[in-house]
Copies of this chain bind each other. A is one copy, B any other.
């Protein structure tokens, strides 16, 4: 494996040495926020959107990003240069810092990691199967590091022969732990959940696409059985067709034409061939 660097506050360190003290509030209290973006052929994708969200998440959690926007962009470029991974995912995490009493927010620790990430279109053709679970994430609009339910539910997902879990609550169908959820109605209306979810960047880009009839609105559980297509979106997955939910086939159980059209538009937006 090639040499990989990680940024911890002001220092670039080797990945295998990248550590923080256990007094950090992420370890003590699960307290932190993050964001994650891709680079494609050496260029960050939708960087402004991701950094806007990172600063907003931090502010919502009373954490101050230790670098201003310009300085942060500079170290992103430095890390990219050191690692030389043109196609990658970069994660920036901001934790609650080294807390004297294990409870009070201290000076945040800034962690930046980069891993190789190449997009495989074969995943689109394969699609995914979802299983639903009643759960409402706390602070849904903030990209916190809280994935307690998501990771605990890995067993449940396997037991149900599914690939991922779709949370639902009184507000309707919500989101997957790391993806937004969309349905395509018989009128080719493309609807994504509107309330109590994380506002994904890919989701935002889809809502802005011209030539499609998109909307953010409540998706009721009983709608699921009658939709033509369904898909999930994320930075890593871009667009993945949902072929079944709770064992019930969506449409004809194959990636749909609307989903494919959206997928192709996003590939082109991101410069992926």
Contact = CB atoms under 8 A, between A and B. Distances in A.
Interface of A: 6, 8, 16, 18-32, 60-62, 91, 93, 95-96, 102-105, 111, 113, 135, 138-139, 144-152, 154-155
28 contacts: A8-B22, A18-B22, A19-B22, A20-B22, A22-B111, A22-B113, A27-B93, A27-B95, A28-B93, A28-B145, A29-B145, A29-B147, A29-B150, A30-B146, A30-B147, A30-B148, A31-B147, A31-B148, A61-B148, A62-B152, A62-B154, A62-B155, A91-B102, A103-B147, A104-B154, A138-B149, A139-B149, A139-B152
Nearest to A22: B18
A145 B30 contact: yes
Contacts of A155: 62
Contacts of A154: 62, 104-105
Contact of A19 (B16, B19, B138): B19
A119 to B, nearest CB: 16
Contacts of A26: 26-27, 30
A159 to B, nearest CB: 12
A44 to B, nearest CB: 19
A129 to B, nearest CB: 18
A138 B30 CA distance: 13
Nearest to A61: B152
Nearest to A15: B23
A148 B144 contact: yes
Contacts of A135: 138
Contact of A146 (B19, B20, B62, B148): B148
A112 B97 CA distance: 19
Contact of A30 (B22, B61, B144): B144
Contacts of A28: 93, 145
A107 to B, nearest CB: 15
A14 B30 CA distance: 23
A96 B102 CA distance: 19
Contacts of A111: 22, 27
A27 B29 contact: no
Nearest to A147: B29
A186 to B, nearest CB: 35
Contact of A151 (B25, B60, B145, B151): B25
A61 to B, nearest CB: 6
